[in-house]
Amino acid sequence: MLVMDQGVVEEWLSEFKTLPEAAVSSYAAALKEKTSLVPALYKVIRENYSDLLEPVCNQLFEFYRSGELRLQRFTLQFLPELVWTYLSVTAGRDPHCSGCIEALLLGIYNLEIVDKDGQSKLLSFTVPSLSKPSVYHEPSAIGSLALTEGALANHGLSRVVYSGPHLQRETFTAQNRFEVLTFLLLCYNAALSYMSSTSLQSLCQLSSRICICGYPRQQLRRYKGISSRVMVTSEFLVQLITGIHFALCNGESDLGSKALEDVLYRAQLELYPEALLVGNAIKSSLRGADLKANKEGTRSIQVEITPTASRISRNAVTSLSIRGHRWKRHGETVTMNSIDSPDISPAGPIPEISVTGVSGERVANGELLRSRTEGEALGGAAEVGVDSRGHLEVRRQKSVRRHLEEGPASGGRA
């Protein structure tokens, strides 16, 4: 660590200790102007044996315990790096280097699971309905939903899932480790729109490292960190995917794409259906999308906007399309306005589709029947047409013509 960075961190540590309580709000607003502070703090966290690590963790916890929202977000931006440092040290079986980080993570967890009065929180989540658009699906892409009696009865109703109350934790164990870390990532994802690009990059790097360490893909990514596998849970991967989705749409498309592929890779190896479902849904929704390359501006997630008018397929069979198909002849189509409007009559005779390919105009049913009878009396099928002078004309088939030309000598029927 450079001497300059160390001086920035030491100055930051001394400022808050002598700060009066009335000046906390103005101090939190001025933290954004210290551009060299955040990179220096990242360097301290990544150096496990740094002498400044313990006082930095204590200061970050004091920020979170102060109740000032901007100071809490300042601490949360380091959460991915803190989680990775803790897990890497735990996987390396050197827990003595992560004592202060473990205490910080547990302190944030215990503060978040209770309200201001010290009562356990009960978190609620609304499950999206397939009939309404969400981040992961669009109703127009699914098709029409059956309007059954049960669907109509549940229309407008929302299913709410509750989480909690959560238990206080004094130390990390193998049983509660990922329960605590998953909840911390849930708090981090709730403030994603306030996180810096450096924090989003750290989240993507955390996701890739956790999922590939100890597996063949680690050599493909050329990551030379720890080589032992880190245990994960399906719920933890789902929270990682949620943060990756936001990073993908807000300037971190390269790191986010790699992280999403690595999480799906690990989810396939572990056979985690929840992580596979959410990850593949995001991957499908972003396929062919124009992701934002800039890292500034409004933070958002891209979704398809539901159209205001109902979509009607061009190939849909309607009464209008049937009538239009009926009056088509030789590539010419009579306009629907002339058919539907009683005041406008066609310029010429209404064309008719001929099965035998012989063109002609409409004739009365009686004349058509009489002509067919005369044709059948000649010993062959005949077709009726109207010549230019308005007289009926019987057009015999080739077999009948050949019979008359050859005469009675051929032995045919007269």
Closest CA to 321 of 331, 313, 309, 310: 313
In terms of Cβ atoms closer than 10 Å to its own Cβ (0-12, 13-18, 19+), residue 281 is middle
Q: What is the pLDDT of residue 155?
A: 59
The pLDDT tens digits of the residues spanning 238-281 come to 999 999 999 998 888 899 999 999 999 999 999 999 999 999 99
Q: What is the pLDDT of residue 223?
A: 77
Rounded CA separation 270/88 (Å): 20
249 vs 292, which has greater pLDDT?
249
The confidence band for 334, taking pLDDT boundaries of 50, 70 and 90, is very low
For residue 11, pLDDT over 80 is answered with yes
Rounded CA separation 270/264 (Å): 10
Both structure tokens of 165: 């109350």
Q: What is the pLDDT of residue 239?
A: 96
Mean of pLDDT over the chain: 75
For residue 184, pLDDT over 90 is answered with yes
15 vs 140, which has greater pLDDT?
15
Q: What is the pLDDT of residue 202?
A: 95
The residue-averaged pLDDT of 12-29 equals 87
Rounded CA separation 253/245 (Å): 9
Among 248-252, 378-382, 396-400, name the most confident range.
248-252
390 vs 107, which has greater pLDDT?
107
Lowest mean pLDDT among 46-50, 206-210, 224-228: 224-228
413 vs 106, which has greater pLDDT?
106
229 vs 129, which has greater pLDDT?
229
The pLDDT tens digits of the residues spanning 345-360 come to 444 554 544 444 444 4
The confidence band for 325, taking pLDDT boundaries of 50, 70 and 90, is low
In terms of Cβ atoms closer than 10 Å to its own Cβ (0-12, 13-18, 19+), residue 43 is middle
Q: What is the pLDDT of residue 203?
A: 96
Rounded CA separation 332/354 (Å): 15
Per-domain residue ranges of the chain: 157-298, 356-405
* Residue 47: C-alpha distances to residues 82, 122, 135, 344 (Å): 11, 37, 38, 86
Q: What percent of the chain has pLDDT over 70?
A: 61
Q: What is the pLDDT of residue 308?
A: 44
Lowest mean pLDDT among 46-60, 246-260, 370-384: 370-384
Rounded CA separation 331/288 (Å): 37
For residue 101, pLDDT over 70 is answered with yes
* Predicted TM-score of the model (pTM): 0.66
Q: What is the pLDDT of residue 295?
A: 54
Assess contact for 278 and 238: CB atoms under 8 A.
yes
